[in-house]
């Protein structure tokens, strides 16, 4: 029941948004928070969440949804980010359309996380693109058309492989239900191809180096709230997909490809961090630092030890919270200097100490200082990856040096030195957007087990026994 409600509630909210101009934003915020509440209710009540209806028999597709611990973690993260993103969308035109699309995006993302049938998963996976593309195309910055097209082309190319894999599975296994597929696994020798076809969609969406060409342009062109959810939660559908589908259905195929994938991810981790040191546009800075973080998550996923997967989930939550805070703070900085260029800022700490303090905390979390969620995720991922790929993990660990360079370098250029720019400090309305994120960042950093203990055992490899 609850799993279905997680999709239906935002759909209803979308309809309400269309009919109420004034209340569109509050409706979107409430719908997002309702998702958080429903997800947590599903977790705490322990009541069965699943629903299953046979549908489209010849296609072997069915309506099957459920919400287990893994789903709930991502849904709760998504709900928080959608709520804050909606609250931050204060000055948009065509409010009804914007917030209706926003709620449709929530519904689609929720659907990806609750779907327990591959055809249904694909439907929601593609459905995410429509509101996302329109939001970027219509409300984005100067490069919005080109960036949206490239994003669409890239992700749909990946989706084509996903569709091919689903079709092949439907034909050969006679079912698309995840539980049934998992109970009758494909022979180890035949897993590589379907695993890679599924993975194609996910490595583009994540994105894994070098499939990231859409990323910097999309981050710059999208409106800030959309970029926030694009990076914060939409990218995490790929993390979820790799865990649930690739590793869940084809662990042997993934293990065969792991050496190559791990190498790419380790390179991508350093690559993103190196490029982040050179960015002047703060949104591109976030783009490349995100690329670095997401590739580190990829590394942990491909290493696929119980510890590295726990780390990947923690890091997904952490990255979502931190990148959201960074996007908001960067937008607040830009509203004071009238530019996203670092070279137009400088010495801002003198006039905006609270903005400087919040930015420092967000960067400290981004570069993985202990006590923040960033460390909890990063350390667990690297320690877990080291169990199976010590060389790749050691190389990827160098990112802590590069992260310090780009993170503190950015703070130094924007906030330290003689004041070149000035502005009014954060208003309470602005502070209230960021504070919940920063509080969660610290909370997850201090008690990460609240998150990682919710990951169901059946989504982790069973051979290893870690405590």
Which residues form the interface with other proteins (CB under 8 A)? 149-150, 153-154, 157, 168, 172, 190, 210, 212-214, 271, 274-275, 277-278, 307, 310-311, 347, 349-350, 356-357, 360, 364, 369-371, 375-376, 379-380, 382-383, 386-387, 390, 393-394, 397-398, 400-405, 408-409, 412, 415-419, 446-449, 452-453, 466-467
- 53: Cβ–Cβ under 8 A, 6 or more apart, which residues? 62, 63, 64
**Least gap, CB of 142 to other proteins (angstroms):** 17
**Least gap, CB of 290 to other proteins (angstroms):** 15
d(C-alpha 332, C-alpha 328), whole Å: 6
Peptide bond just before 207 cis, omega within 30 deg: yes
**Least gap, CB of 195 to other proteins (angstroms):** 14
- Report residue 77 CA to chain centroid gap: 9
Nearer to other proteins, 86 or 129 (CB): 129
Nearer to other proteins, 103 or 403 (CB): 403
In 3D, which of 288, 311, 283, 286 has the Cα closest to residue 298? 311
- Report residue 186 CA to chain centroid gap: 29
d(C-alpha 166, C-alpha 144), whole Å: 32
**Least gap, CB of 433 to other proteins (angstroms):** 17
Q: Please name every residue paired with 177 in a beta bridge, in sequence order, or none if there are none.
A: 117
Nearer to other proteins, 453 or 458 (CB): 453
Q: For residue 26, with 0-12 CB atoms within 10 Å meaning exposed, 13-18 middle and 19 or more buried, which class applies? A: middle
Asked if 160 contacts 97 with a C-beta cutoff of 8 angstroms, the reply is: no
**Least gap, CB of 12 to other proteins (angstroms):** 37
d(C-alpha 181, C-alpha 119), whole Å: 13
Asked if 114 contacts 39 with a C-beta cutoff of 8 angstroms, the reply is: no
Nearer to other proteins, 198 or 275 (CB): 275
Nearer to other proteins, 26 or 461 (CB): 461
Q: What is the four-CA torsion angle of 301, 305, 311, 317, rounded to 10 degrees? A: 50
Residue with tokens 């199976």: 388
Nearer to other proteins, 231 or 380 (CB): 380
Nearer to other proteins, 64 or 385 (CB): 385
**Least gap, CB of 400 to other proteins (angstroms):** 5
DSSP track, 226-272: HHHHIIIIIHHHHHHHIIIIIIHH-HHHHHHHHHHHHHHHHHHHHHH
How many Å from the N-terminal Cα to the C-terminal Cα in the chain?
A: 33
Nearer to other proteins, 9 or 287 (CB): 287
**Least gap, CB of 217 to other proteins (angstroms):** 8
* SS3 state at 65: strand
**Least gap, CB of 260 to other proteins (angstroms):** 18
């Amino acid at each position: 029941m609850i799993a279905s409600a997680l999709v239906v509630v935002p759909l209803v909210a979308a309809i309400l948004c269309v009919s109420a101009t004034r209340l569109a934003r509050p409706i979107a915020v409430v719908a997002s928070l309702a998702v958080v509440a429903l997800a947590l209710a599903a977790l705490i009540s322990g009541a069965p969440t699943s629903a299953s209806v046979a549908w489209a028999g010849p296609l072997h597709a069915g309506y099957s949804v459920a919400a287990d611990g893994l789903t709930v973690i991502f849904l709760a993260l998504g709900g928080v980010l959608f709520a804050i993103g909606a609250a931050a969308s204060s000055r948009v035109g065509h409010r009804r359309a914007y917030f209706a699309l926003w709620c449709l995006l929530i519904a689609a993302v929720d659907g990806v996380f609750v779907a327990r049938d591959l055809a249904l998963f694909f439907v929601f996976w593609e459905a995410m693109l429509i509101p996302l593309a329109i939001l970027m195309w219509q409300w984005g910055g100067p490069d919005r058309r080109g960036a949206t097209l490239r994003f669409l082309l890239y992700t749909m190319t990946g989706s084509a492989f996903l569709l091919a894999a689903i079709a092949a599975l439907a034909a050969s296994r006679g079912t698309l239900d995840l539980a049934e597929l998992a109970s009758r696994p494909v022979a180890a020798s035949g897993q590589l191809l379907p695993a890679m076809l599924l993975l194609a969609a996910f490595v583009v969406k994540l994105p894994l180096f070098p499939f990231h060409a859409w990323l910097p342009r999309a981050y710059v062109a999208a409106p800030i709230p959309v970029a926030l959810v694009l990076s914060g939660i939409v990218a995490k559908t790929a993390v979820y997909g790799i865990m649930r589908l690739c590793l869940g259905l084809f662990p042997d195929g993934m293990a065969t490809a792991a050496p190559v994938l791990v190498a790419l991810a380790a390179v991508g981790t350093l690559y993103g961090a190196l490029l982040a040191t050179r960015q002047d546009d703060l949104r591109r800075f976030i783009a490349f630092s995100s690329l670095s973080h997401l590739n580190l998550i990829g590394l942990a996923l491909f290493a696929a030890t119980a510890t590295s997967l726990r780390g990947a989930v923690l890091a997904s939550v952490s990255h979502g919270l931190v990148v959201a805070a960074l996007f908001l703070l960067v937008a607040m900085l830009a509203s004071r200097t009238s530019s996203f260029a670092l070279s137009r800022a400088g010495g801002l700490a003198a006039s905006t100490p609270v903005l400087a303090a919040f930015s420092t905390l967000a960067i400290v979390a981004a570069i993985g200082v202990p006590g923040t969620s960033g460390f909890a995720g990063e350390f667990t991922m690297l320690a877990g990856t080291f169990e199976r790929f010590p060389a790749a993990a050691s190389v990827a660990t160098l990112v802590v040096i590069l992260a310090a360079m780009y993170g503190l370098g950015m703070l130094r250029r924007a906030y330290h030195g003689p004041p070149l720019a000035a502005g009014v400090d954060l208003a309470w309305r602005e502070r209230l957007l960021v504070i919940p994120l920063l509080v969660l960042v610290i909370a997850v950093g201090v008690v990460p087990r609240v998150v990682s203990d919710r990951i169901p055992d059946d989504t982790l490899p069973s051979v290893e026994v870690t405590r």
